[in-house]
Amino acid sequence: MRVTIGTWNLENLFRPGEPDGPEDDQSYRAKLAALAAAITEFEPDLLGVQEVGNPDALADLVDLLDGEWHIALSAHPDGRGIRVGFLGRTPLTTIADVTAFPARFAPVQTQDTGVPVGAMGRGGLAVTLEPVPGRTLTAAVCHLKSKLLGYPGNRHAPRDEGERARYAAYALWRRGAEAATMRALADRLLADDGRTHDVVVMGDLNDQPQAATTQILYGPPGSQIGTPGFDRPDRGDATRLWNLAPLIPEEQRFSRVFEGQVELIDHILVSHALLARVDTVTTGTGHTLSSVTDQPAERQGRPGSDHAPVVARLTY
């Protein structure tokens, strides 16, 4: 039996007239239609989603999909009102919705002035489901701090190079703290037994597979796909997560185009128990991406998303 899982940043899924949403109903319907067509094409059994603004907008999207769907959403949106969640073909049970940084992790500076923060900007959500009878899958989804920088006064351009450098560092510190928070959640889900527990961590990690913040989520170093130690069992297998990025065909190995440069910033990580079950990994058949800039408002109201879905097919 095949089970398909995926992650997709839906890009500002708001209803018309809401902040960051389409200006009119026609643009809104075009966006929903494009999203629904892609989801129908890759047929996920479980889809982690990011940038869900209005939950009613997600319900509108689900209404365009065939069959019965179940929705789980984080109760912790960010200041813009976007949050993560799941769509599933089978019932979903929420087991965690985390924001607070791990114990002993001090709050981090996020701007020149103001109080440091000790929590993720968007909650990280974990659910359990039974994709096949008698088999439990635990999945977590997150949306880490963006690489697109924002400055005081809702600016997307810095006043000078010093401000740009500082705010790039603030964003990196926060993304690292959020990655550590999700890694702490992964430790709970794996329970030191990733060889037998089916665990998936997915989402928009806002950086490439080799980025330091992304690698925080992997756990013990070594044995990643494509490395010499991949086929050698070791003690780290019980707590390690494997990024499926190397299994994506090279010509598809990107999920966003930024200023003309392709990048893979959306990821699916799996426990040891699931490695042998992975059949194929893609970034969405026929998905066409437009190039984005550091001015996100330029795409407001456009159809579809500025991200491609990352999709893994598992064999049970």
Distance (Å, whole) CA 225 – CA 218 = 11
**Tokens encoding 110:** 């996020």
Tell me how far apart the alpha carbons of residues 142 and 309 are, in angstroms, rounded to a whole number: 14
Q: Are 131 and 137 in contact (CB under 8 A)?
A: yes
pTM over the 0.85 mark: yes
> For residue 219, which of 195, 236, 202 has the smallest C-alpha distance?
236
Enumerate the domain spans of the chain.
Answer: 2-315
Question: Mean pLDDT per segment of 10 residues, for the chain of length 316 residues?
Answer: 96 93 93 96 96 98 97 97 97 98 96 96 98 94 93 90 96 97 98 95 98 97 94 94 97 92 96 97 78 79 89 96
Q: What is the DSSP string of 195-241?
A: TTSEEEEEEE-SS-TTSHHHHHTT-SSS--TTSTTTTS--GGGGT--
Show the tokens assigned to 284: 């969405």
What fold is seen in the domain 2-315? Deoxyribonuclease I; Chain A (3.60.10)
What's the confidence (pLDDT) of residue 298?
76
Specify the pLDDT at position 287.
Answer: 60
SS3 label, residue 13: strand
> What per-residue confidence (pLDDT) applies to 242?
98
- Parallel, antiparallel, or unpaired for β 198-204 and 261-263? unpaired
Q: What is the pLDDT of residue 286?
A: 55
Is residue 2 within 8 Å of residue 42, measured between CB atoms?
no
CB half-sphere exposure, 112, CA atoms < 13 A: 10
What is the residue type of 174?
A: R
Nearest to 122 by CA among 79, 151, 165: 79
Query: What is the residue type of 11?
Result: E
* 8 Å CB contact between 237 and 231: no
- Parallel, antiparallel or unpaired: strands 310-315 and 278-282: antiparallel
93 CA to centre of own chain? 19
Rounded to the nearest 10 degrees, the angle between the axes of helix 25-42 and helix 55-63 is 60
